[in-house]
Structure 1
Amino acid sequence: MATNVPETMQGQFLEAFKKPYTLRSVPIPQPSTPHDLLIKVDAASYCHTDFVLAEGQMPGFPHAFPHISCHEFAGTIISHFSAPSSQASAFTVGDKVGVPGRAFHACETCFECQGSKDPVSQDDKGYSVYCAHAENNGISRDGGFAEYAVVDARQLAPIPSSMTAVETAPLMCAGITIYAALKRCQLHPGDRVAIMGAGGGLGHLGLQYAVKMGLRVLGVDAADEPLKLAASLNTGARIVDARSEKPTDIVQQLGAEDGKKDIGEKGVDAVIVLPESQAAFDYSMKLLKTHGRCVVVSFPEKGFHISAHDVVFRDISILGSLVGSNRMLREMLNFSAEHNVRAVSKSFPLSKLNDLVEDYHKGGGGKLVVDMSLQK
């Protein structure tokens, strides 16, 4: 172990479903394979998936209690395995890194690891974020709601010098997820995209990314606080209250603005669906032009009802999007630094994680982050 590192750490543990987290001391984990690095966690962001996991709505996860959640965090490298891999050796003690949840200990040999043809998820041969045999920080194994964590060097993204750990942590899931969804829309500057759930953790980042990509953007939400948050960003996107504005009226307005007469060419080129409600999905489909793309990020327990008429007669493409590759993760971080894309966030000390969760249920939008530098 590196010098000046204590033998134990504080961690917030999930010990049963539907129960508060418990703060207690445990031994600090140790690197056990050549790809492993020990990091001091500097910031850890709360995701909707953390809530889903804690409620017992992810079958089979966690594998056992007690469990440390959080799959989007950032930290400082403390030590390597005794014989590090070339990927791990590329990082030095003291480096600041962002840590996504997926593909801890990817198998290197499966179909995905040997070379996915999907440009959004494709990484160098021997590693894939879609490896079915890998573990996931904060889901199938311990994550970032602790003072220290062991991570896989192949997961990591160096933090740009202009960004802090608190700014980086929300981008390790929310940021890469919405960035990858925008890439899957296959749009060009000047095209239109609608983001459903625009005031949420992913949505408000998506507004910023989309505008900086040169797209014309509609941000749609249906709750007061998220709508206020989306409007406060001043991105230039049109913010739509789905409770009072009908999608058919919006389509007509966009058609008039674009000088389009045929109904099939009015509307947006792509929509990204972030909420889990059928109403949000239906609303988004009505915004689309013929031949448009619907990119689904949410995964409600009962799924979505899809209109065969939209798929067949309007040639609407519906596809899912999870995360992006490590290559895209680094691209997203550099894009965020260059264009000043940041999450609107509220910070809590590690000891107040249960207060953070209580705040999450108020539905104020943005991101909630554990900042390890805050006093207990």
Structure 2
Amino acid sequence: MSPSSEPPPPTSLPSARKAAVSTSTETIEIQSLPLPSPTGTYVLLQIEATGICATDLHLVRQSIPYLKSKVNICGHEGIGRIVGLGPDVDRTKWKIGDRVAHRWIYRVCRKCEMCEAGNEQLCDSRQLSGIHVEGCWAEYTVAESEYLMRIPEDVSALEAAPILCAGTTVYRALKTANLAPGQWVAIVGAGGGLGHLAIQYAKAEGLKVLGVDGGKDKGALCTRLGADAFIDFMETKDITAEVIKLTSGGAHGILVTSSSPRAYEQAVTYVRKMGVLVCIGITPTKTTFPIGPEYFVARGVRLTGTSTGTMHDTEEALEYVRQGKVKPIIEEKKLEDVQQCLETLEKGDAVGRFVVRF
């Protein structure tokens, strides 16, 4: 079935929905729950597909202090259709059957300094899916229509889902790095869910890409996606020397998508003078960079970070997919597979992105 020939929304809704519920830090159970009813400006969505993100793993495991979940349903890469409207929804903008996204940034205030500056992903009062509100690992979920993104009909749900978080995050990171065409960007964790997308966005922007990851399979993947060079950290004795050699002086920019503290410790040793290191991966333990102020004084290096992006970033990131410049590598799963997928992510064995099709 083509993306433009999706079935119309159901004329009658069920009384229950199936959801993947976190019943402990180790266990996901498939449960039948009452169908939520949209109130106020909320809409009810029937989910077509939803991604499984490493952030979901942190939420389920409760492994990151500032990511303590208050709900037991995760998921924030959801593509679905509106099947119910709250009484205060703007009917001139939204209608039954519209195809929309359930994103990580669920709701923002639109009044704080960050929102007014166009950085609503850092809103002081933001609500996050899977932390403050229920996520979209469910057949049906609700979303706030006043902060809702429309999804193009000519992009498949399976390919659109990973872009809502993973694709947006690396796309925003590349914008933050602000590199010029022809410059080198090193992508650490290049064969993973975020990294394989970062390679494609970087190449689309005319950058030279150095992939860093472990294993021959990851190397073959990175090369196939367009990486100009690859370093297998499992086989390379001196990563710093090898990066400097391959890039003729060090990477102009580094995107660390890995959650390994060691990856960050190494990255500061091979970033070029006046280069930029962009933090993306969240480490399970506190990470201390082996440098002091003199490092930045002497080298002029920028150290920054990014977490997902704005709605506009997501729209731009999806456009690359629509145009065929970026193609997520996905492994289609069922809702019952969520726990197994999280375990695979935890081991670092995932290639591409897991996406649940409903």
With structure 2 as the length reference, what TM-score do the two structures score? Answer: 0.89
What is the aligned-residue RMSD (CA, Å)? 2.1
Alignment of 1:61-210 (within 5 A): 61-64=68-71, 67-85=72-90, 89-102=92-105, 104-113=106-115, 115-116=116-117, 122=118, 128-210=120-202
State the alpha-carbon separation in 2 of the partners of residues 156 and 223 from structure 1: 40
SS of aligned partner of 2:273: strand
Which position in structure 2 is the counterpart of 1:371? 357
Which residue of 250, 264, 267 maps to 1:281?
264
Which position in structure 1 is the counterpart of 2:62? 56
Which position in structure 1 is the counterpart of 2:14? 6
Alignment of 1:281-320 (within 5 A): 281-300=264-283, 301-308=285-292, 309-320=294-305
> Cα offset for 1:47?
0.8
> Cα offset for 1:108?
3.3
Distance 1:200 1:75, change over 3 A: same
State the alpha-carbon separation in 2 of the partners of residues 203 and 39 from structure 1: 30
SS of aligned partner of 1:282: helix
State the alpha-carbon separation in 2 of the partners of residues 223 and 91 from structure 1: 47
Deviations 1:121-162 (A, max 9, x none): x16xxxx22223232112222111100111123443332333
Deviations 1:225-264 (A, max 9, x none): 433432343x143222123343223313432xxxxxxxxx
Aligned letter for 2:73? I
Deviations 1:51-108 (A, max 9, x none): 11111223372225xx1111111111212212214xx742332222232111x33233
Which position in structure 2 is the counterpart of 1:356? 341
State the alpha-carbon separation in 2 of the partners of residues 357 and 38 from structure 1: 27
Structure 1: where are the runs of 5+ without partners? 117-121, 256-265
- Percent identical: 28
Aligned letter for 1:83? D
Which position in structure 2 is the counterpart of 1:220? 212
State the alpha-carbon separation in 1 of the partners of residues 343 and 234 from structure 2: 26
> Cα offset for 1:337?
1.4
Structure 1 runs of 4+ aligned residues shifted over 4 Å read none
Distance 1:276 1:40, change over 3 A: same
1:333 and 2:318 matched: yes
User: Contact conserved, 2:177 with 2:253, CA < 8 A, in 1?
Assistant: yes
SS of aligned partner of 2:328: coil
Distance 1:238 1:328, change over 3 A: same
User: Contact conserved, 2:212 with 2:233, CA < 8 A, in 1?
Assistant: yes
